[in-house]
Chains A and B, each alone.
Chain A
Amino acid sequence: MVGALVLAMACQGVAQTQTQAGMQAAQGPAWVNQRGVWTVITPQEPPPIVDVARATEQMDLGCGAGGVRFGDTAAMRLSSDAQSAFTRDARRLASAATLTDDPAQAAEFLAQAIADAAQNAPDGAEQQHLEALAILTALQHGDEAQARARLAAIDVARLGDGVAADVLFWRVLLAAPTANAGVWEDRLLPDLDTALARDPSSFQVLVWRVIGWIEANGDGVPVASQCAALGRALSDRVLDLSATGACPLMLGHMDLALARHFRDRVSPEPATGAMTWRQFSTGILAVLARDDATALAMQGALMEAQAPCGATLSEALSAVRGGR
């Protein structure tokens, strides 16, 4: 009697296992016979559009300092512990060139400083940093012709990492006002990626990687099947930027920097594509800043916009809001 009961329970157990196995075959990994070898096949889930794990990690870090630094030249981005071999004269000349309101005087002082550095160590790090400073100073005085001439004369391959990142970035900055989507895609975005690889601590490169991506993809009308891949590409760039520090104030400044850039551009008709991607990036930054009202507003705006990809991006924002 007892034996029959145990047998019945065992049978029931086997039946249950088989049912579970059948369900798993439909949803989860499955064993497939490939040329006589049984192999387990795990069906590929499409990765989420916004990397929730990365977003959560950044939110946990909060205002903690990331590895990104904000200086406008590579030399300023180095910590104050780093030492250089500038002479006192070179320091005086560089300081005076930074302070003066006379562009010609600034250029002359920097030429003297470069000559001073070249005398001590030809083509050393110091000389390269001063050459980069001369480009930035020309840009700060609004002298684009001089900045272009200096940039054209410089060979990026021989430069140190930080200076190379700056030089590539300034090239992009000068080319940006006249670049169309094709130029952004083929030339400027790869330059920014190279700049990031050479110096991952450069904040300006991180901001312009987002701006450049939207410039390259804003005007086109994406096919529905591309939406997830495009959204993933943009959200990765936004998360690279927000790795700077997920402080609400910093995130707000980043969003404002993007808003200013795209508002300032005069366009005959509203570029709805760029608007969609802007709303998506604002939504991600809002989620990171724990600003749920803004994130929800962006989610709603994307859903209502009737733009291609709007619904997909709205769902992606909803997922990252729920997943944190």
Chain B
Amino acid sequence: MNAPASENHDSDATDTSALDLSVAFFCSVLVLFVFVAFNLDDREPLPDQDSLGQEALTVAAEPGMWGAVVPSGRFAVMTDDTLYVVNLARVAQGIVVPSEQVSTDRAWGNYSDVAGFAANQFTYRLNLNLTDPEPDLIRESIVLNGSEFACPDWPVRSDLAVFVPDGAFDLGPLLAFGATCNLALRIEPVFDPEETIASIFFGRSAASYAGERMFR
């Protein structure tokens, strides 16, 4: 009674082991498919393209921010590879004493006061020859050539408004300069790159603070 049962059990084991083996083999082939990719395309794979996107250093994009005290800033004009930082103290001297205002064919300015309650409401238009800048009006000339530049030795204030030519202009070196020297840059494309005279305009009035303008 026992012998046939045992024999029957052995033959069952033999049958299933063959099945197990075939299933295991089939699975291992399936697993190989995971690691092997077949290229069914007979064309050469394309080389990796260089990105046409941002090439300059990544610059922190911070939204415009309101502060109870807006730090006093500096202004600069950028040409091909040179940043001319405007000597605002010299401009201010010209405002107070009109006879001392810089007035040559390389640089001249116009001051006018704005009607209103506050005494410090004004507009000032400064014209600068960029091919041959008036040295009296330039505090510093910083050549931004690749990554070799020295950071300016300015006190705590680090806001810099830069007027750049309107149109195609490589901002990479300027952005790298701003990021390396920890400056808060405000870039304003204003003047025609074909012109040799840059006309830049600064001013302040009660309208400067109207609505959401003060956040920018």
Which residue numbers of A lie inside 8 Å of B, CB to CB?
69-73, 75-80, 82-84, 86, 88, 90-102, 105-106, 109, 113, 126, 129-130, 133, 136-137, 139-142, 169, 173, 204, 207-208, 245, 247, 249-250, 253, 256-257, 260
Contact = CB atoms under 8 A, between A and B. Distances in A.
B119 A133 contact: yes
Contacts of A249: 212
B89 to A, nearest CB: 4
A133 B122 CA distance: 15
Contact of A99 (B68, B91, B117, B119): B91
Interface of B: 63-66, 68-72, 74, 87-89, 91-93, 95-96, 111, 113, 115-122, 124, 139, 155-157, 202, 204-212, 214-215
Contacts of A204: 68
A136 to B, nearest CB: 7
B119 A126 contact: yes
B89 A100 contact: yes
Contact of A94 (B71, B93, B120, B207): B120
B120 A102 contact: no
Contacts of A247: 212
A70 B214 contact: yes
B119 A72 contact: no
Nearest to A169: B68
B96 to A, nearest CB: 5
Nearest to B98: A92
Contacts of B120: 75, 91, 94-95, 97-98, 133
Nearest to B205: A80
Given A93-B96, A109-B96, A245-B211, 5 more contacts: A71-B209, A75-B120, A99-B88, A126-B119, A140-B71
Given A92-B113, A109-B92, A257 B65 contact: yes
B69 A95 contact: no
A130 B69 contact: no
